[in-house]
């Protein structure tokens, strides 16, 4: 196994210190998972957050960790009422809402939606789809958000790449086949995520199998349209496209490639991979100039959901 990049260690240390200063209440719906219990115990011991685990309280419950059983919790009726009000226009009955509110994923999201928790952590034992769906149904998008998308923050062994060895990679989990408008919204959201999380101003590259008209295809036309939309809606963002990956990552002897304003380090921030294909992909990359599946669009809560059964968890913040 490769060593953990130093960039990852520094990044996580910064996140931990920030969380310790804020000391938020974070609910873990997968409280029966031993990995989650171990992580929550460590977070409580280190004073990082106030963890709440959903599930029966064990005899050896670690200090500082609160346990709640969503089936018998006193607040379940309140959460059922909240869920019913949010979803009754979709045909959900009060009886169905009462049952759904007892599902740990939905109970956790409803705690956040009701203001009883600052965030939730999920996705260690549940699928991304189930975890995202619970957040959307119980919390919903922000008031000015039209599209919820995702972004990963990646740590590289080479600290000269990206922003001190960090880059963002999106949208690979939520928006499968974005329209030009959606692709533009993902690019704008990804630039904002880079500023907020990495503290740097990004350069965005819209990726394709074509570089500046080297191929003709409806996907290429969509990327060109997305570029125009971003430049009209967010002219402060430095963005270019359509570009093949090598035009962004590596130096090229081709004069037509060298002329385009990609990042000097050619390190990348990838967003929007609607098709699993290395040769036929429609993508967005954003590049931090000074150098986890996070969902953007929930109100004030960047949300990350890792794949099911992986040995890590990720957090939804208020």
CA distances from 154 to 170, 266, 274 (A): 10, 15, 19
- Over the stretch 29-77, which tens digit does the pLDDT of each residue have? 999 999 999 999 999 999 999 999 999 998 988 899 999 999 999 999 9
Confidence of residue 275 (pLDDT cuts 50, 70, 90): very low
Residue 28 predicted with pLDDT over 50:
yes
pLDDT value of position 214: 87
Nearest-5° Cα angle at 97, 309 to 77: 100
Q: Which long-range contacts (CB under 8 A, 24 or more apart) does 80-83 make?
A: 82/110, 82/113, 82/114, 82/138, 83/110, 83/137, 83/138
Among 99, 158, 119, residue whose Cα is nearest residue 316: 119
Which two tokens mark 311? 């040995």
Count other C-beta atoms under 10 Å from residue 68's C-beta: 23
Which secondary structure element, helix H or strand E, spans residue 229, and what is its range?
A: helix 218-233
- Over the stretch 211-252, which tens digit does the pLDDT of each residue have? 888 888 998 999 999 999 999 999 999 998 888 877 776 544
Residue 256 predicted with pLDDT over 70:
no
Count other C-beta atoms under 10 Å from residue 152's C-beta: 20
> What residue segments make up the domains of the chain, in order of their start?
6-141, 149-296
Cis preceding linkage at 153, omega within 30: no
pLDDT value of position 162: 78
Write down the CATH number for the domain with range 6-141: 3.40.50.10950
Which two tokens mark 122? 């999920």
CA distances from 144 to 148, 174, 178, 230 (A): 11, 19, 19, 17
Count other C-beta atoms under 10 Å from residue 2's C-beta: 5
Residue 108 predicted with pLDDT over 60:
yes
* pTM as predicted: 0.75
- Over the stretch 112-127, which tens digit does the pLDDT of each residue have? 999 999 999 999 999 9
Among 196, 148, 194, residue whose Cα is nearest residue 171: 148
Confidence of residue 281 (pLDDT cuts 50, 70, 90): very low
CB 66 within 8 A of CB 53: yes
CA distances from 58 to 30, 41, 198 (A): 14, 13, 38
Among 142, 163, 167, residue whose Cα is nearest residue 271: 167
Tell me whether the CATH fold assigned to 6-141 matches the one assigned to 149-296: yes
CB 265 within 8 A of CB 287: yes
CA distance 162 to 270: 11
Write down the CATH number for the domain with range 149-296: 3.40.50
């Amino acid at each position: 196994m490769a060593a953990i990049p130093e960039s990852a260690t520094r990044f996580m240390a910064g996140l931990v210190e920030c969380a310790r200063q804020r000391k938020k209440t974070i609910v873990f719906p997968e409280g029966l998972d031993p990995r989650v219990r171990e992580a929550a115990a460590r977070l409580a011991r280190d004073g990082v957050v106030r963890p709440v685990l959903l599930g029966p309280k064990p005899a050896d419950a670690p200090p500082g960790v609160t346990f709640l059983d969503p089936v018998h919790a006193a607040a379940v009726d309140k959460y059922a009422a909240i869920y019913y009000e949010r979803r009754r226009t979709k045909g959900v009955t009060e009886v169905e809402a009462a049952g759904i509110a007892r599902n740990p994923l939905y109970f956790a999201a409803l705690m956040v939606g009701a203001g009883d928790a600052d965030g939730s952590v999920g996705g260690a034992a549940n699928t991304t789809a189930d975890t995202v769906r619970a957040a959307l149904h119980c919390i919903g998008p922000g008031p000015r958000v039209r599209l919820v998308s995702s972004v990963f923050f990646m740590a590289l062994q080479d600290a000269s790449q990206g922003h001190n060895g960090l880059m963002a990679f999106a949208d690979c989990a939520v928006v499968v086949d974005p329209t030009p408008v959606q692709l533009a919204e993902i690019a704008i959201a990804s630039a904002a995520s880079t500023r907020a999380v990495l503290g740097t101003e990004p350069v965005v590259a819209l990726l394709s199998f074509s570089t500046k008209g080297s191929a003709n295809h409806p996907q290429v036309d969509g990327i060109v349209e997305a570029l125009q939309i971003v430049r009209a809606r967010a002219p402060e963002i430095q963005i270019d496209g359509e570009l093949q990956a090598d035009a962004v990552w590596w130096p090229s002897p081709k004069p037509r490639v060298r002329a385009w304003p990609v990042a000097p380090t050619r390190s990348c921030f990838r967003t929007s991979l609607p098709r699993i294909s290395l040769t036929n992909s429609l993508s967005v990359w954003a590049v931090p100039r000074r150098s986890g599946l996070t969902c953007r669009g929930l109100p004030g809560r960047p949300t990350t959901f890792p794949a099911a059964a992986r040995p890590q968890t990720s957090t939804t913040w208020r």
